[in-house]
Amino acid sequence: MVQRSALSGLARRATASALCVLLLAACPDGYPTEEVPQIEPSRMTQAQLLAALNELGEEQNLGKRWRYTLHPECELEVSVRGDDGGRRRVTLEGAEVSSRADDGVSEILLVPADGSEAQAVTVLETPQWPDSVRARALLRHLEARCGEAEGPGS
């Protein structure tokens, strides 16, 4: 009888320990509490890609608000709220998407096909690595949709 209650107590402590570990693992670390399903960029239309870029540009953690407009001839206009540099435009077709990091902030750049790194347009600055990966994917797929009336899924 004594052995059974000792085993029962041990089982309760093990269960309580496991629950504590689960609770500690679930503590918020700045991650979203709910998973928001995202459409894979390869399945998005040009309009969806642009909307996703604008949504990314509105993130609170960026410190700035980035806005994107697509003009004829697949020219992307980038504006940053509060930036005195005004709006910058770059033709997506043939542009190279590159990035550089400084002090924990990734800068996503579009280098025009006929230009140099000096003519690159900064399209996003973010401290979040997933944001930079997403922005690069969105920009690559947006460039791939140049010249298409509508992309996949339309």
Say whether pLDDT at 80 is over 80: yes
Say whether pLDDT at 154 is over 90: no
Q: Which residue has the higher pLDDT, 29 or 10?
A: 10
Q: State residue 23's pLDDT score.
A: 47
83-94 pLDDT tens trace: 666 789 999 999
User: Phi first, then psi: what are they for 110, rounded to 5°?
Assistant: -115, 120
Sign of torsion over alpha carbons 139, 79, 63, 110 = positive
Q: What is the DSSP letter of 75?
A: E
98-107 pLDDT tens trace: 999 988 899 9
| Contact status, residue 93 vs residue 75, Cβ threshold 8 Å | no
Segment 119-148 mean pLDDT: 90
Domains assigned to the chain: 41-144 (2.30.29)
Sign of torsion over alpha carbons 42, 43, 46, 49 = negative
What is the average pLDDT score of the chain? 79
Q: Tell me if residue 119 falls in helix, strand or coil.
A: helix
Q: Which residue has the higher pLDDT, 27 or 137?
A: 137
Say whether pLDDT at 118 is over 90: no
Q: State residue 48's pLDDT score.
A: 94
